[in-house]
Structure formats: C-alpha cells, structure tokens
C-alpha cells in the first residue's frame, strides 16, 4: 500500500539505488514511502547488477500500481587517479608530485617526486588542456595542488594542501576548460545497455554545451525510436556560462552540487542553484536538486537542521525534484531518509507564502495548448475543483500544465505507461492509465471512472478536464471543461 502523502506531494523524490536498496523488498518499501524516480548510477556496479535493479524496480512498480521512472546516470569523463600503493599516499604541503598515465612508466625524472598514476584514457587530454599554474584538486577538493610543469601526457605539481590520497579518488581542474569528449567509450557501452533495458531517462555528466546534448541525442536515435528524456548534469563553469542554450535543448536539468562546489567554490552554489531553477521554471523544463541533501543520514537516522532547511529551500526555490544519493544507495537508513525527505517537502509545501517559484508565468503568445492549460490551472482554483484531469497522448499537455504550478493536483490520463513514467520528473504530475480511446468512446464516463476508482475524486466533486477534440489526434489540446462527477459514483 502506498503512503497517502506520496500522491499529495508536488515535488518528486529521486532515490539512488545501490547495495543498501537492491532487494525487491527494499525497493518496494522505497516506492511505498515516496520514491518517484529510481537512479541507476553507472559510475558503480556492473551491467548484471543494474539489470537486477531494473527488473526489481519494474516488478515492484507493477505490484504497487505506481509508475516509477528509471534514470540511467552515465559516468562521463570522470577524472580519477589510478591504483596507488596499499594504504595510499600521505601528501604534505611542499611535496612534488608527478602525474602520468596509468599502465606506463614516467618519461621524466622521478627523483624527489611522488608518483601518481591517473586514468590512462584521460591523461593525454588533461595534460594537453592544463597550463602552468592551474589548480588540480583531489578527493572532492580536500587535497590541492598547483601545476608547475606540463609535458603531455605528464604533469608535475606542487602540493599546497595535503592529505591522504587513496585509490581512484576523483580529480578536478577548476578554471581549466577540458577538451575531453563528454561521452566516453564506457558511456557508449553503458548507454546501449540502458536503452536495451528501456530506461526512461538518461543523465549526462559534465555537460559543457548544448552540442554535448545534441551529440548524445544523435547517438541514442541510432539505437531506438523510444527516446528517453535527456537530463543534463550541471557541474562545470562552462555549463553555467552556457546554461540558457543547454536548457533550450534538454528534457531536464540536474544540479550536481558536489562537483560544482569543488569546481566553482561552495559559496557560489546557492545563488547558481536559484538561478538555474528560475530559468528552468520559466521554460517549463524539470530540474532536480541533488547532492548531500540529507548526507548525515547515511550514518544517522535523523537529519541535521541545516539539511532540513536545504531541502525546504529547494522546494521554495521551485525545484521539480530532490535527490538522495549515498543516503539510499549505501546508507544505513535508506527508508528513514526517504520518509524524512517526504515530510520536509510536505511541510514546505504547506507554506505557499514562502514559495518563490513560477506563480506569475504566462502562456506563450498564440500557443493554444499553453493558453488552455494556464486557464485550467486558474479555473480549478476559482471553482473549487478537486483536481485537473489532463488527457494526454504524448505527455506534453501535462508538462505544460505543471509549468503553471496549479494549486490543484494534476492527474495525467494516458494510455501510454512509458509517458506516465516520464511525467514523474515534472512537479505535481501524477497519473492514471486508461485503455486506448477510440472514436466512438464517450470521454467523460471514462474519465469519471478513472478519477473515482483511483481516488482523485468522489461523487458530485468538480474536476477540470483538458483534452483535444477529436480525442484521437495528437497535439490538439483545445478544450477545457468544468465537469461534475455523476451522483451514481457513490
């Protein structure tokens, strides 16, 4: 049985699945407590592991009769060190390090230098882009160095802030534009696998420009006609500079605040978050706020006050979804983390006076569907309707209705399960599946049956309906109607 609060909540919850939540029982409980989107992180785990997760999600979703989207998160050109000596390396300020491609031997003199192999597939490109004086950070910025000599594919740097460096920790080069391809060979293999499973969305890491998204879309189009949503992860300076053009070509954005903080400085992240959410809200593009939202709950059953405020402020900013990472993938209290996230969101949504999202957005001039859905959002409030039933084939009408942030629940009515899963990324959109409508069908009895059986409305309630007439034609939303549920639905 689903938690009743999960249908009244507008902001969606993304859960990263992993060792703590791979079993069918745990996935079922995550869905019951409010998981709307499951994230499969392809930076970890092999294909067999992810196939098991995928199958368990689909089965649990089917049994609970709740549409749960599955998002494949590609690793991207993650910069990492290679295999280090057992116990790692203790780096101190003033030490000199020599970075070289893993699997080869350094060409330069190693005297007085600490050797650090870096992933061979990125070493040449990183050295080619790095200039003398560039900052090179390790382990989420905990260790800081500065390049003193560059002789591709090797880099010599001086340690400014030391610490223990262990195997496969990440590297960041803040302020250094990287020419390395956004989609790696590993990503292509993972992508083909994900498409064969039928993932609902694909998230691309370290996006720099709209061209990165166009490249990915072309590669996907060669493999399938059932296009997943494309989600751009925003974490580098170039992406911030190109944010408007990126928003113009993607199906969604994910604010990857961890790498962003390392790349740009933690002090810049709050303002960037607000601006990204605002720009996405204006365009009707869903946006996910991610990273360390309830980080302490990896090892503790309750959040800090700062974490609760962080989640609530993302809701007030207008985010479409919030994401849990290690909290649900490998944490000790995954269910408690989801329950906490849901409670904080609901409490924040009870304070609309604090909301700074897109309440004043108007429909695009001459757009019939935008005018219809905008009107529906206002009419529902004025007439006291209990919900807005949005009959949609492609999902577009429900997506546009979400853009206007109505005060009433949005119920997408569609015959396409894949479309309904993809609508999980959009603020406030829930939904129901119906049989394919034919020309001879009377639309309103069908809608009444769905709305009452699925608990959205009761006898004599008013609902606002948007649809296209005739109902079989796509992209023809041209009708809004205030409809009262018949008395025989007692």
Enumerate the active-site residues: 39, 80, 233, 291
Interacting residues of 308 by C-beta distance below 8 A, sequence separation 6+:
340, 344
Token pair 């949503």 in the structure block, residue: 229
Neighbouring C-beta atoms of residue 326, cutoff 10 Å:
20
- Give the separation between CA 308 and CA 301, rounded to whole angstroms: 13
Token pair 């998230």 in the structure block, residue: 203
In the chain, how long is the greatest CA-to-CA distance? 88
Return the ∠ at Cα 414 (arms to 225 and 37), rounded to 5°: 70
Three-state SS letters, 428-483: CEEEEECCCCCCCCCHHHHHHHHHHHCCCCCCCCEEEEEEECCCCCCCCEEEEEEE
Which CB contacts under 8 angstroms, 24+ apart, belong to 64-67? 64/2, 64/28, 64/31, 64/32, 66/2, 66/6, 66/31, 67/417, 67/420, 67/421, 67/423, 67/424, 67/431, 67/433
Interacting residues of 388 by C-beta distance below 8 A, sequence separation 6+:
376, 377, 380, 401, 406, 408, 409, 410, 411, 463, 464, 465, 466
- What are the backbone dihedrals phi and psi of residue 223, each rounded to the nearest 5 degrees, phi first? -105, -25
Question: How far from 204 is each of 223, 407, 443, 460, CA to CA, in Å?
Answer: 17, 32, 40, 47
What DSSP designation does 195 have?
H
């Amino acid at each position: 049985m689903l938690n009743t609060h999960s249908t009244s909540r507008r902001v969606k919850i993304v859960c990263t699945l992993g060792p703590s939540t791979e079993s069918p029982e745990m996935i079922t409980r995550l869905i019951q407590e409010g998981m709307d989107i499951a994230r499969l992180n392809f930076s970890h785990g092999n294909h067999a592991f992810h196939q098991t997760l995928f199958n368990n999600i689909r089965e649990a979703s089917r049994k609970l009769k709740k549409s749960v989207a599955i998002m494949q998160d590609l690793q991207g050109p993650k910069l990492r060190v290679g295999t280090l000596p057992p116990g790692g390396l203790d780096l101190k300020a003033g030490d000199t390090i020599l970075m070289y491609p893993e699997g080869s031997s350094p060409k330069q003199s190693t005297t007085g230098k600490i050797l650090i192999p870096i992933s061979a597939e990125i070493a040449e490109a990183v050295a080619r882009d790095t200039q003398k004086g560039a900052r090179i950070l390790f382990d989420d910025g905990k260790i800081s160095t500065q390049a003193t000599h560059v002789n591709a594919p090797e880099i010599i740097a001086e340690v400014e802030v030391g610490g223990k460096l262990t195997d496969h920790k990440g590297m960041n080069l803040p302020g250094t534009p990287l020419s390395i391809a956004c989609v790696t060979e590993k990503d292509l293999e993972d992508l083909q696998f994900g498409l064969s499973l039928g993932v609902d969305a694909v998230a691309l890491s370290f996006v720099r420009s709209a061209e990165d998204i166009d490249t990915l879309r072309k590669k996907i189009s060669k493999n399938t006609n059932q296009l997943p949503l494309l989600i751009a992860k925003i974490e580098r300076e170039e992406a911030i500079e190109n944010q408007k053009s990126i928003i113009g070509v993607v199906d969604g954005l994910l604010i990857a605040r961890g790498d962003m903080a390392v790349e740009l400085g933690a002090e810049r992240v709050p303002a960037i978050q607000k601006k990204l959410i605002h720009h996405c809200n204006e365009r009707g593009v869903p946006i996910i706020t991610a990273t360390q939202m309830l980080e302490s709950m990896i090892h503790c059953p309750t959040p800090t006050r700062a974490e609760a405020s962080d989640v609530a402020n993302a809701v007030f900013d207008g985010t479409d979804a919030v994401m849990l990472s290690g909290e649900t993938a490998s944490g000790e209290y995954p269910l408690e983390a989801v329950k906490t996230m849901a409670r904080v969101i609901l409490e924040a949504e009870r304070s609309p006076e604090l909301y700074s999202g897109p309440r004043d957005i108007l429909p695009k001039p001459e757009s019939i569907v935008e005018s219809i859905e905008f009107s529906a959002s206002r009419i529902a409030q004025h007439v006291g309707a209990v919900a807005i039933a949005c009959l949609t084939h492609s999902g577009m009408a429900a997506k546009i209705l979400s853009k206007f942030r109505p005060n009433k629940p949005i119920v997408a009515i569609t015959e396409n399960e894949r479309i309904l899963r993809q609508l999980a990324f959009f603020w406030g959109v829930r939904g129901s599946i119906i049989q394919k409508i034919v020309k001879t069908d009377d639309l309103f009895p069908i809608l009444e049956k769905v709305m009452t059986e699925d608990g959205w409305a009761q006898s004599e309630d008013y609902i606002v309906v948007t649809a296209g007439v005739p109902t079989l034609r796509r992209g023809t939303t041209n009708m809004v109607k205030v409809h009262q549920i018949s008395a025989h639905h007692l």
